Amino acid sequence: MGSKNDYPVMKQCEHILKKFKIKNDILIVSAHRTPERLFKFAKNAHKNYSVICAGAGRAAHLAGMCASLTKIPVIGVPIKDKNTDGVSALFSVAEMPNGIPVATTAINGALNAGLLAISIIALQDKKVRLKLESYRVKQTKSVKKRPR
């Protein structure tokens, strides 16, 4: 994530990954304030991770820069800010040039970022795939047929 202020949103991603027992790290890697840390992280991400969930607000270049420096999937989470309600972050994450794809969630969509990361991991991990199938069945069963 771009700053510690992004954690209240990104902890949703962390929580769902932990629920699925998927190893994850929460790191502060600012595209603007710590560019060398960003380069080192993204260039080496494939050694430790299968997918990156990158949350940032305002200019939100983190996901795009990660995607430009790594070959693993990157999921961008635009984070709401006071000035633009997250719209500037959404455009920064979603409007990537051809050849540098970033999957993009809704503004503050960290839970869905985690679930998308889980879906990507499930392609190669049968245990994760079975847990995801169970999660979806439980989710479906939790939807009431009537409002009361």
Phi first, then psi: what are they for 79, rounded to 5°? -110, 135
Model confidence pLDDT, tens digit, residues 58-103: 999 999 999 999 999 999 999 999 999 999 999 999 999 999 999 9
pTM, two decimal places: 0.95
Domain tally for the chain? 1
Assess if residue 147 is contained within a domain.
no
- At 108, is the pLDDT very low, low, confident or very high (cuts 50, 70, 90)? very high
Q: How many CA atoms lie within 13 A of 68 on its CB side?
A: 12
Assess if residue 33 is contained within a domain.
yes
Which residue segment(s) compose the domain that 118 sits in? Answer: 4-141
Assess if residue 146 is contained within a domain.
no
Per the document, the length of the chain is 148
**Domain CATH code at residue 99:** 3.40.50.1970
